[in-house]
Structure 1
Amino acid sequence: MTTPPALLIAGHGTRDEAGAEAFRAFVRELGRRHPELPVAGGFIELSPPPLGEAVAELVERGVRRFAAVPLMLVSAGHAKGDIPAALSRERERHPGISYTYGRPLGPHPALLRVLERRLAEAVDPAWDPSEVTVLLVGRGSTDPDANAEVFKAARLLWEGRGYAAVETAFVSLAKPDVPGGLDRCARLGARRVVVLPYFLFTGILPDRVRHQ
């Protein structure tokens, strides 16, 4: 019988301790639900533990091969370059280990269902969905492919759900920003707008959405 590989969760990192702890709690819960599976998690920057420390933890537990998964919504710079480079360094530091590298999470049907639940919490049941425009706000990136994935998520969220439209905005590094996105909604004739952050955890950027 083939033994499944261990699991390494790679996070972005944040200066917001609540967001970092939410990631660490997610990793702990994943390990609790799957006691047969060695699970560790680390960050690429800003927050402890660093990714290298998480790899070392798995190695100390006797792990020789693992699946590394970026806990990110889009294929931005970290998922494309920084995490693979860090994993390559760890392979040199720990001879004999091997790994496979997974894709970022979105847009996935399970994430769309989460977005649906968040919308249901924000929309008054008395509102006519055909009069509601959703503004999906992503992180924003200098990588156009990453921004395009947010637009794809917006399109998939709109399909078959009866909303007037699902528009897209970004909190940094890409246009439109949140004020620009709201202005576009108004110019398109939106009567009610729900701003829906597209983030996995709390932190500085989700807070910035509210400020904008």
Structure 2
Amino acid sequence: MKAILILAHGSREKTTQETLERVTEMTKAQLPEVMIETAYMEFCEVNLENGLDTLIEKGADEIVVIPYFLFEGIHIREDVPGEIHEYQTKHPEVKISLGSTLGSDPRLAGILADRIREVL
């Protein structure tokens, strides 16, 4: 079964987790047939390994990690692939891949334009 792990950076500020939970719930509402969980790089008990474990426990054998990051910085280029590789050596029966960051998607420009309109 294919599953998605949304991976955010994480923060000491607890409201960031609440925000990701809301976004994840909205995403699940749009994709009710897809198994989706969340995890964080830092500052949260639910790290990448724990998130992958949760999906495997729910029956996933193919997982795509979708970074909830705007940019492809060091975490996306090195840290996350390294952690996935390390995890994969312990769980060779599960296929794990890394999806794209949010990047320069035109839909983000629309949201930014809306925020600007709100303050004009």
What is residue 92 of structure 2 aligned with on the other side? 95
Q: How far is the alpha carbon of 1:88 from its aligned partner? A: 1.4
Per-residue Cα deviation, 1:132-180 (whole angstroms, up to 9, x for no partner): xxxxxxxxxxxxxxxxxxxxxxxxxxxxxxxxxxxxxxxxxxxxxxxxx
What is the correspondence of 1:66-145 to structure 2 with a 5 Å cutoff? 66-123=63-120
Structure with the larger RCO, 1 or 2 (CA within 8 Å, 6+ apart) = 2
1:9 aligned counterpart, secondary structure:
strand
- Report which of the two structures shows the higher radius of gyration computed on alpha carbons: 1
Of 18, 23, 31, the residue aligned with 2:28 is: 31
Give the Cα–Cα distance (whole angstroms) in 1 for the partners of residues 70 and 77 of structure 2: 12
Give the Cα–Cα distance (whole angstroms) in 1 for the partners of residues 18 and 44 of structure 2: 9
Unaligned runs of 5+ in 2: none
On the 8 A contact 1:40/1:58 being kept in 2, the answer is yes
Unaligned runs of 5+ in 1: 124-212
Give the Cα–Cα distance (whole angstroms) in 2 for the partners of residues 93 and 57 of structure 1: 15
What is the correspondence of 1:1-212 to structure 2 with a 5 Å cutoff? 5-123=2-120
The Cα RMSD (Å) is 1.5
| Poorly superposed stretches of 4+, deviation over 6 Å | none
Give the Cα–Cα distance (whole angstroms) in 1 for the partners of residues 67 and 10 of structure 2: 12
1:36 aligned counterpart, secondary structure:
coil
**Count of aligned positions:** 120
Q: How far is the alpha carbon of 1:83 from its aligned partner? A: 1.1
